[in-house]
Amino acid sequence: MAKSVLPTDPALLSALLEGLQMSRQRLDAQIESVRAAIAGEPEVAEAAPAPAAAPAVKKGKKGRKPGRPPKADKVEKPVKAGRRKLSASARKAIAAAQKRRWEEFRKNNPK
């Protein structure tokens, strides 16, 4: 079995100990429910211990939680999506590249 190296920071060690104790409580509750099932006793529903810290919710692009409607006082107005403007030289370069690709396609795929 590999030997584990523990950190030396007291705050980290206390957090580690707290997490292990919570895991132990959950395991003890599961062991008791299995023992009760083996004995044929009806399962007693126990309240699960509340987690110490709730996991962070990832916010969407607009900063709202997914599926949540906007606040009543801050109704979002429809925003007109502006189109990006290409310079004349960029349009010519795109057109030339497209023509080159079609030429190559027609050359490799005759009718």
- Domain assignment present for 20: yes
Q: Are 88 and 82 in contact (CB under 8 A)?
A: no
- Domain assignment present for 95: no
- Under the banding of pLDDT at 50, 70 and 90, the label for residue 102 is very high
Q: How many domains does the chain have?
A: 1
Which tens digit of pLDDT belongs to each residue from 6-64?
778 888 888 888 999 999 999 999 999 999 889 887 655 555 555 556 556 555 555 65
- Domain assignment present for 86: no
Global pTM exceeds 0.95:
no
Residue-number span of the structural domain to which 42 is assigned: 9-46
> What separation, in Å, do the N-terminal and C-terminal C-alpha atoms of the chain show?
70
CA distance 17 to 91: 64
The pLDDT assigned to 101 comes to 97
- Domain assignment present for 83: no
- Residue 33 phi/psi, 5° resolution? -70, -35
